[in-house]
Structure 1
């Protein structure tokens, strides 16, 4: 399974998620929960403890690589994100096809495909460019360090805000799985699936780097 890493940007730093982040994550999640209608974000310290412990169990099992999202300007923990649905394609072809773990040493293995998910940001960090740079850092790591063939993203089909954000990254809509699962509101929902392929990454990277540059450009005082 991929080993935990730090990913450093100008506005954001992604740290391997740990118990030391629990209280700060709980505070971030409690700022204003009105934007979490379609996003499962724990409320309160006890719920955040379970959230972090579940994420660490998933990491230990090789199913995920979770991060705490840290704003670099003040060191505040402002959310979380993760790589998940790690898929390994090495070895002989098997039938029927199914996700499987890596061959050989799991501590040095890297996936052939991955998903970015479980992303949420505190209200005060939304719309600041942190999400854009977070995705740039994660996509760059997936394609340029791991050498994956595909990175996937998904959203509740009703969550037009998240879908628009994914589309602005340059991801391609693969389709909507209708009546796919239950939403947080208990209603049966569809899920919109998106992806970026390795051959698409250079163009996506260029677009994201330009967006990050514009979002982080210092303001020039009026004359």
Structure 2
């Protein structure tokens, strides 16, 4: 049986709460930052795109394919962006952290790292996944360094893999963390983090 993916995750710093259509206005303020979509498959700064994004993502959640959250920075009480655990294959015990976008005010603040810890803990320890993937545009050096900074293993590059919103076909770098690696990664990279039910 597929578990309920409509769940909140929380730490001292971060609240991840399930995305709803009521979040559109708050998220649109962030999505209007055009710099967020330089490496994007979509451009959610364009009129109507965020509404379609929310409808598609919440339908995927209802069908057991993803958990999608609004990111709230508890230090400021502000909505910071959106993230998800997606492309879930229950048969293969696999999922992917991605579709993460947070406003420029929150980038480099530790919020992204904290939310990754929450999602990895949820995926491995509550959903029982065996493998969690992360992927990014080969040109996105900041994202690549952040993924390596949480202990993920770089697996390789898929050449000319995904077409972006403006027509560029990107190379995609794949990374992963396995359940067998999670305890040591958690100890090495996330020693100061704690999750609340």
Q: Same fold (TM over 0.5)?
A: yes
1:39-68 Cα shifts (integer Å, max 9, x gaps): 335116632222111111111222211110
Alignment correspondent of 2:29: 27
In 2, Cα distance between equivalents of 1:125 and 1:41: 19
Note the 1:13-92 alignment, pairs <5 A. Answer: 13-30=15-32, 32-39=33-40, 40-43=42-45, 46-89=48-91
Where does structure 1 differ by over 4 angstroms across 4 or more consecutive aligned residues? none
1:126-168 Cα shifts (integer Å, max 9, x gaps): 1110000000000011111112111001111121111111111
For residue 175 of structure 1, the aligned residue among 156, 163, 170 is: 156
Alignment correspondent of 2:129: 148
Alignment correspondent of 2:14: 12
| Structure whose CA Rg is larger | 1
Name the Cα RMSD after superposition. 1.9
Alignment correspondent of 1:108: none
In 1, Cα distance between equivalents of 2:77 and 2:3: 25
Shift of 1:179: 1.7
In 2, Cα distance between equivalents of 1:190 and 1:23: 33
Gaps in structure 2 of 5+ consecutive residues: none
Shift of 1:35: 4.2
In 2, Cα distance between equivalents of 1:8 and 1:60: 21
In 1, Cα distance between equivalents of 2:36 and 2:61: 27
Q: Is the 8 A contact 1:132 1:212 kept in 2?
A: no
- Give aligned pairs, total: 191
Alignment correspondent of 2:139: 158
In 2, Cα distance between equivalents of 1:137 and 1:167: 17
Gaps in structure 1 of 5+ consecutive residues: 90-98, 100-111, 214-223
1:151-200 Cα shifts (integer Å, max 9, x gaps): 00111112111111111111001111112122334122211111000111
In 1, Cα distance between equivalents of 2:55 and 2:36: 24
Note the 1:172-211 alignment, pairs <5 A. Answer: 172-210=153-191
